[in-house]
Amino acid sequence: MADKVIYAMYDDDDVLKDGAKMLVSKGVKVTDVYSPFPIHGIDPIIGIKNTRLGIMSFVYGLIGLTLATYGMWFFMIDDWPMNIGGKPSFSYKENFLSFMPITFEFTVLCAAHGMAITYLIVNKTLPGMPAQNPDPRTTDDKFVMEFRMSDNTSMTESELVDLLKKTGMTELDQKDI
C-alpha cells in the first residue's frame, strides 16, 4: 500500500518534546521518534507503552532458579550422593545452604542472558542488520519525528506540514513507501 512518511528534524530534544506535545494535542499521531540518546518523558507523549522486558527477566530468573534447584537435587542427592566426611547427604533441605551460591549465580545468569537475548530479538537488532534510522545524523546530534500519513488520515499533508513549521523544526524530509 502506498504510504507517505514525513520526517521532521530538530536540533534539540526539549524542542522536539514540546513540539510533540503540541502536535499530539492537535490530534496528530507521531509514529516514531529517533534520537541519539533516550529523551526522558517522550514515551507517554507519543503513546509508547512501557516495555515488559522486566517481567520477562523475572520469568527467565525463575526458570534458572528451577533448573538449578532441580539440577543440584539430582546431581548431589538423587543420582550420586557423595559421602563427605560421613556427613549426611540424603535430603536437599539439609544441604541447601551449600547449594545457595550456585543457585544464585545460575538464576542471575539466566535472568540476565534471557533478557538480553529477548531484547535484541524484539528490537530486531542483531549482528549484521541494516541501519534503520532515517538520517545518519540521528545518532549524533539530531532528533527526528516520524509521521505516517496512513496514521494521520484526518488531515492532509500540507496541514501537517503547516503544524510542523510551528514546532521549531530545522529540516523536513518525506518519503514514499
Partner 1 sequence: MHKEAAIREPLILGHKTYHDITEDVCRPIEDKAPKTWYILFGIALVIGLYGVGCILYLLGTGVGVWGLNKTIGWAWDITNFVWWVGIGHAGTLISAVLLLFRQKWRMAINRSAEAMTIFAVFMAGLFPLIHMGRLWLGYWVLPIPNQFGSLWVNFNSPLLWDVFAISTYLSVSLVFWYIGLIPDFATIRDRAKKPVAKKMYSILSFGWSGRAKHWNRFELVSLVLAGLATPLVFSVHSIVSFDFATSVIPGWHTTIFPPYFVAGAVFSGFAMVQTLMLIMRKAMGLEAYIHKKHVEYMNIVIMVTGSIVGTAYITELFISWYSGVEYEAYAFINRATGPYWWAYFAMMTCNVVSPQLMWFKKLRRSLLFTFIISIVVNIGMWFERYVIIVTSLHRDYLPSSWSMHFPTHIDIGVYVGTIGLFFVFFLLFARFFPVLALNEVKSILKSSGESYKNAPDAHHDEPTPTPVVEAASPVVEEKVEEKVIEAVKKGTKKKLSDEEIQSKTYELIAKIGDAGSALDDLKVISGVGPVLEKKLNSIGICSYDQVSKISKEEYDLLDQLTGSFPGRAERDDWAGQAKELMNKPKS
CA–CA distance, 158 with 160 (Å, rounded to integer): 5
Classify the C-alpha dihedral 124-130-134-138 as positive or negative. positive
50 sits near partner 1 (criterion: CB under 8 A): yes
* Least distance from partner 1 to the Cβ atom of residue 154, Å: 19
Please report whether residue 177 would count as binding partner 1 according to CB under 8 A.
no
6, 7, 57, 164: which one binds partner 1 (CB under 8 A)? 57
User: Rule CB under 8 A: is residue 125 a binding residue for partner 1?
Assistant: yes
Chain center to CA of 79? 42
Among 59, 67, 112, 155, binds partner 1 (CB under 8 A): 112
Q: Does 105 bind partner 1 (CB under 8 A)?
A: yes
The enclosing H or E element of 145 equals strand 143-148
Q: What is the rounded distance in angstroms from the CA atom of residue 24 to the CA atom of residue 2?
A: 24
Q: Which of residues 85-104 bind partner 1 (CB under 8 A)?
A: 95, 98-99, 101-102, 104
Please tell me the distance from the alpha carbon of residue 26 to that of residue 131, in angstroms, as a whole number.
Answer: 32
In the window 144-173, what residues touch partner 1 (CB under 8 A)? 166-168
Mask for 3-42, x = binds partner 1 (CB under 8 A)? --------xxxxx--xx-xx--x------xxxxxxxxxxx
Question: Could you say which DSSP state residue 45 is in?
Answer: H
Q: Is 131 in the site for partner 1 (CB under 8 A)?
A: yes
CB 20 within 8 A of CB 145: yes
Separation of first and last alpha carbons in the chain: 8
20 contacts 42 by C-beta, under 8 angstroms? yes
Minimal distance, residue 102 CB to partner 1, in Å: 5
Question: What cell numbers appear for 63 in the block?
Answer: 526458570
The yes or no reply on residue 109 touching partner 1 (CB under 8 A) is yes
> Closest approach of Cβ 174 to partner 1, in Å?
18
> Which of 27, 66, 75, 171 touches partner 1 by CB under 8 A?
75
